[in-house]
């Protein structure tokens, strides 16, 4: 089953077993409430670009965002899309779904023992006909940041920066950090080596200008018509 969910800034694309749309929507709203409540209580949490410690009594989602921001060296809101996607995926699995793939603005919480194609939507000709073949018996993160595509805030110049990690929120924060480090083509190799060496990161890749750099362990890259991987524009519940 494939469906879209949206509420304010959250635009999710979900793949899971049938009959779980309401569970996914409820989980999305729970995650958003946690983040919005934290920002209402502590507005600086929502605007800082620096790592920010969690406080006693914070929800799990907030603690995950703060912990990941410390590893990546970015603000906790860099991990909000991944945190929402992870919360929804965890709910779907707890409801018995045999697979759960939740994409939120380019950040994916991925669980599928069966191999799936994951396209990279980037302003770069190399990835028009290629995709990653991914399978996992646990939730992993595949998260991307871009200066030119999508809603990400990026301080660098990469057309796409993608990070793979066991922790979805960490992948999201590190994708932002990677994008920030790629100031131009001369920085791309050092940037992927830096982020790819962070604790918890499996591998990463970045594109800038004509250059593509990769570091660490990445899924197999296979030929694919990436236009076939897009199944519709986001819609309301």
SS3 74: coil
Residues sharing a CB contact under 8 Å with residue 4, sequence separation 6 or more, in sequence order:
11, 12, 13, 14, 232, 233, 234, 235
pLDDT, tens only, 93-142: 999 999 999 999 889 999 999 999 998 776 666 677 888 999 999 999 99
Burial code (b: 16+ CB inside 10 Å, e: under 16) for 131-168 equals: bbebebeebbbbbbbbbebbebebebbbbbbbbbbebb
Q: What is the pLDDT of residues 63-83, one digit of tens each?
A: 999 999 999 999 999 999 999
| Residue predicted with more confidence, 128 or 228 | 128
Residue indicated by tokens 């660098």: 156
Average pLDDT, whole number, for the chain? 89
With a threshold of 0.85, does the pTM exceed it?
A: yes
Burial of 180 per CB tally in 10 Å (0-12, 13-18, 19+): buried
Write out pLDDT tens, residues 137-182. Answer: 999 999 998 865 555 555 655 778 999 999 999 999 999 999 999 9
CATH superfamily of 2-228: ApbE-like domains (3.10.520.10)
Mean pLDDT confidence for 188-211? 93
Q: Kindly list the domain boundaries of the chain, sorted by start residue.
A: 2-228
């Amino acid at each position: 089953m494939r469906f879209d969910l949206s509420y304010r800034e959250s635009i999710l694309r979900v793949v899971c077993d049938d009959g779980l749309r309401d569970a996914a929507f409820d989980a999305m709203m729970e995650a958003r409430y946690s983040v919005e409540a934290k920002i209402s209580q502590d507005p600086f949490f929502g605007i800082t670009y620096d790592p920010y410690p969690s406080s006693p009594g914070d929800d799990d989602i907030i603690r995950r965002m703060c912990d990941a921001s410390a590893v990546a060296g970015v603000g906790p809101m860099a991990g909000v899309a991944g945190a929402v996607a992870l919360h929804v995926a965890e709910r779907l699995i707890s409801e018995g779904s045999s697979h759960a793939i939740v994409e939120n603005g380019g950040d994916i919480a991925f669980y599928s023992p069966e191999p799936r194609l994951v396209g990279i939507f980037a302003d770069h000709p190399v990835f028009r006909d290629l995709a990653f073949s991914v399978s996992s018996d646990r939730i992993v993160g595949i998260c991307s940041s871009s200066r030119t595509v999508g809603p990400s805030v990026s301080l660098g110049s990469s057309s796409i920066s993608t990070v793979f990690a066991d922790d979805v929120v960490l992948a999201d924060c590190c994708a932002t950090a990677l994008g920030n480090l790629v100031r131009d083509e001369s920085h791309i190799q050092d940037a992927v080596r830096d982020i790819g060496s962070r604790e918890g990161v499996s591998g990463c890749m970045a594109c800038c200008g004509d250059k593509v750099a990769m570091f660490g362990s990445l899924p197999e890259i296979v030929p694919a018509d990436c236009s076939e991987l897009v199944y519709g524009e986001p819609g309301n519940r």
